[in-house]
Amino acid sequence: MMGREVRRVPPNWEHPTKNGEYVPLFEPGYEQALAEWEEQQQKWEEGFRRNYFDGPKWIPKDENLKEMPFEEWHGVRPEKSEYMPSWKDSERTHYQMYETTSEGTPISPVMKSPEELARWLADNKASAFGDMTASYEEWFCTIKRGSAPSMILQVGDKGATLKSGVESCHPKTTKGDEQ
């Protein structure tokens, strides 16, 4: 999902930088991405490709794809440096908000609790989308949900309204929220 995503990280996590800029990192981890890539490569060699229109399933490659190399169709083999580390669940005790319009870079420091993260995001007017910000309640709802899309276009009788996905998160409609 492109937008905002809370990631569970160790308390001492420092997202890598290069030339003073955060290095975008994919989530989930490298091991899962590599296993999926290798499975798809094997199926490609057997004459099949993924079809996601009716749920992920394998279908025969089209005639025009039979001579195409797998990496040209799917992309290069994942590299470990492009992914978040694969920590044990017991190590993922803290929270950090990421933008996921690219692979993923943090928009907040590492925080101990969802409440602390929501407070920091609201107080620091963190970007929910572009120059849009969000309230504590909207950030907290998004954190409890896990992610939010970049934006939502709401169309009504009076026209269309563009909102951030964070702003559109309503605590009363989020399952399991106890505020």
Q: Which residues pair with 149 in a beta bridge?
A: 3
Per-residue pLDDT, averaged over 70-75, amounts to 93
pLDDT at 179 over 50: no
Alpha helices, H only, the chain:
30-45, 70-74, 114-123, 136-145
Q: Taking 70 as the threshold, does the pLDDT of residue 53 lie above it?
A: yes
Query: Cα 120 to the chain's mean position, in Å?
Result: 20
pLDDT in tens, 84-119: 998 999 999 999 999 988 778 999 999 999 999 999
pTM for the model: 0.79
Q: Is the dihedral of CA 126, 129, 134, 139 positive or negative?
A: negative
Average pLDDT over residues 24-38: 91
Cβ partners under 8 Å of residue 131, min gap 6:
none
